[in-house]
Amino acid sequence: MMIRIAKMLLASVTMALAIHSPISAQTGDADAGKQKSATCVACHGPDGNSPLDQFPKIAGQVPGYVAGQLAMFQSQQRNNAIMLGMVGSLSEQDMADIDAYYASQAMSAISITADQEEAARAGEDIFRAGYAEYSIPACMACHGPAGAGIAPSFPRLAGQHAAYIEAQLLAFKSGDPGKSNNAGYCISPFRAADQGAGPVHICAPVSSWKQKQKTGSGPVFLWSG
């Protein structure tokens, strides 16, 4: 089983790196990006920390990721009529500038309630060790042990709205790459996942992590609630 999961993970990472937009390599200007992000404020907030959980936080996202997603909306590799209208006239430089601006911001922490902590602990196990029953590899293999992401292909999850993470996991499960924020590297494993416990449990801990100062043994994490 573990060999199967390892092979699936290797194939997924290879695919993700191969398909990521080359725009991520463009040099961006954060100051220019702040000016160009004016139309983003209504949904994502003035600094990229969306106040509504139906819209993702993009503040503090790994460099290159936002630009890559904008390019996918523009090419309609990701299907979203609202975003298509927003990005239709953007140049590669515009996307790189907007990316640089949001990457320079800090993603805010999210607290969880005492009632959510049990589910969050169960979700942490899945995030760190995977879900062998459904051949799902550990999320941290691509998103890092802190959920901080790996530029440019694997987004930051720590601090993201739990409801948005859950929506993306269910989009992966649907098998339609146009509904989710990648072109397939998470779809196959999540199509087999439990639609009930899996996504709900995974999303809770990741959204509530915040990182303290690093020690010699690596990052230390606390529940922000």
pLDDT tens digits along 105-122: 999 988 888 888 888 888
In a domain, 205, yes or no: yes
Cα angle 120, 121, 126; round to 5 = 90
Determine, yes or no, domain membership for 37. yes
- Single-letter code of the amino acid located at 214: K
The type of residue at 157 is L
Cα Dmax for the chain: 50
Domain CATH for 83: 1.10.760.10
- Work out the pLDDT band at 213, boundaries 50, 70, 90: very low
Q: Name the pTM for this structure.
A: 0.77
Is 169 part of a structural domain of the chain? yes
Asked if residue 109 is part of any domain, the answer here is no
Q: Do 126 and 91 sit in the same domain of this protein?
A: no
- Contact in structure between 70 and 98 (CB atoms under 8 Å): yes
Q: Does the structure show a pLDDT above 60 at 8?
A: no
Collapsing DSSP states into helix, strand and coil, what is residue 210?
strand
Q: What is the pLDDT of residues 159-171, one digit of tens each?
A: 999 889 888 888 8
**What is the model's pLDDT at position 149?**
95
The Cα angle at residue 21 between residues 17 and 92, in degrees rounded to 5: 155
Query: Which pLDDT score, from 0 to 100, does residue 104 have?
Result: 98
pLDDT of residue 123: 85
Assess whether 167 and 197 both reside in one domain. Answer: yes
Of the candidate ranges 76-85, 87-96, 111-120, 138-147, the one whose mean pLDDT is the lowest: 111-120
Domain-embedded: residue 218: yes
Domain that holds residue 78: 21-103
Residues 69, 126 share a domain: no
How deeply is 220 buried, as exposed, middle or buried, from its count of CB atoms within 10 A (0-12, 13-18, 19+)?
exposed
Same domain flag for 166 and 72: no
CA distance 143 to 107: 16
How many domains, in total, are found in the chain? 2
